[in-house]
Structure 1
Amino acid sequence: MPTLGLLHGGAFHQLATLADPAVRVWRPREIYLPEAGPEDFDDLDTLIVSDRLHPGLLARTAPLLLRVAERGGTVVVLGENDVAGWLPGLRALRPAETNFWWWRTDGDNGVRRAADGHEAWDHLTERAVRWHYHGLLEPPAGATVLACTDLERDGDPATRQVLLYEDRVSTPGRLIVTTMDPVYHHGSRFMPGATQLLYGLLRWTCTGRRDTTL
């Protein structure tokens, strides 16, 4: 039985991502959001919530998908998904300007990795978290910030402009939350770093579960 699920809405970028052999090797269960039911989530160890899902349908389905974390599993929530309305622990989601093209001019978008000794960096490159983002997160106290902007003040985590964190305090499992949208950009085949983030998240959350029989 599969232990990985990928929740999608049938958009072209989501279907292209699901068809990628480098994604297929993890044997994801394809969960179509408009038709999702409890049985789709009951036996999952890891769930990837694709970016850019229908906000109304996602909010309605949130209690079902969060059961994965309530049972001790991992839920990875990708942006943009209006997470402030349904994600436990999140204290705020603030708007931020999105610069789509900074990487074309070799600029610095101000994103910095954090928690250097964290296991995530065994699987994620620095480039994987430095491209662009859609909003700034205020994670719960006790969560681990993994990527933020350089607007942090005086080393106070409460002032960090966060775009990726791991939360092991709000549920018995873990929530990995980002405002970056790697499925959209990987499936659309543009934006350096997006593919690295997607593949890295799969390695990090699914290592040891891969079935290489395609």
Structure 2
Amino acid sequence: MSSASRLGFLHGGAFHQLATLADPAVKAWRPREIYLPEAGEDDFAGLDTLIVSDRLHPGQLARIAPALLRVAHDGGTVVVLGENEITGWLPGLRGLLPAETNFWWWRSGDDNGVRLNHPDHPAWDALTERSVRWHYHGLLEPPEGATALVHTVLEQEGEPGRRQVLLYEDRVSTAGRLIVTTMDPVYHHGSRFMPGATQLLYGLLRWTGTTVPVAA
């Protein structure tokens, strides 16, 4: 691995984000820590992958959106986590709808309606079913041509099933790719609440990381 990290982690300094960055399993990837309130265009230069942490200030996120999207426009990967305000600046997104959030599906064992798509997709070499079945904060309507990897079959009153997407990969809206989810793994990993969230966070790093992590 070169001394200049090719993996960026955009955060707002919240406790769960700092706890995640302090995790040895995350530090092994040597992410470039980008503090949102002070972020500028130069902070994103040379990145192959950018993780946009969940629960960022919507105004600050919209301000820096053109700069962070440059990573994808230049052929890299931008991973946008929920719970974030992404309408108005995320390319290709056709809708983000509210959905009931149930914090206890992972404990009760009930069917939360989440289903996996495209079993041969490379994402499933890094992600497990448990990593995407804990809860979510909305329903995405991806752009035409995007790959919907996770969806829910639960009925949403007045809303068609085509909008019930929880995780997608978009290779059509930029020269690179956008990976978007309404799950918020950084918050729950940093809060030590929900093991599936930790699995999703680690899985996303394995899937999208372009460098080899160092030994912890």
Q: Which TM-score band (shorter chain)?
A: over 0.9
Out of 23, 43, 61, the residue aligned to residue 40 of structure 1 is 43
Q: CA deviation at 1:85?
A: 2.0
Distance 1:144 1:150 in 2: 17
Note the aligned Cα RMSD (angstroms): 1.4
2:21 matches 1:15? no
Distance 2:109 2:176 in 1: 39
Matching of residues 1-214 of structure 1 within 5 Å: 1-151=4-154, 159-207=162-210, 209-212=211-214
Q: CA deviation at 1:108?
A: 1.1
After superposition, the Cα gap between the structure-2 partners of 1:149 and 1:211, relative to the gap in structure 1 and judged at 3 Å, is: closer
**Is the contact between residue 55 and residue 82 of structure 1 (CA under 8 Å) also seen in structure 2?**
yes
Residue 9 of structure 2 aligns with an amino acid whose one-letter code is L
| SS of alignment partner, residue 66 of structure 1 | helix
| SS of alignment partner, residue 99 of structure 2 | coil
- In the TM superposition, structure 1's runs of 4+ consecutive aligned residues that sit over 4 Å from their partners are none
Structure 2, unmatched stretches of 5+, are: none
Distance 1:13 1:108 in 2: 28
Residue 210 of structure 1 aligns with an amino acid whose one-letter code is V
Structure 1, unmatched stretches of 5+, are: none
Write the deviation string for residues 142-192 of structure 1: whole angstroms up to 9, x where unpaired.
00000000248xxxx972510000000000000000000000000000113
Q: CA deviation at 1:125?
A: 0.5
Write the deviation string for residues 15-73 of structure 1: whole angstroms up to 9, x where unpaired.
00000000011110000000001111011000000000000000000000000000000
Count of aligned pairs between the two proteins:
209
Q: CA deviation at 1:211?
A: 4.1
Q: TM-score, normalised by structure 2?
A: 0.94
Q: Percent of pairs identical after alignment? A: 78
Distance 2:103 2:88 in 1: 26
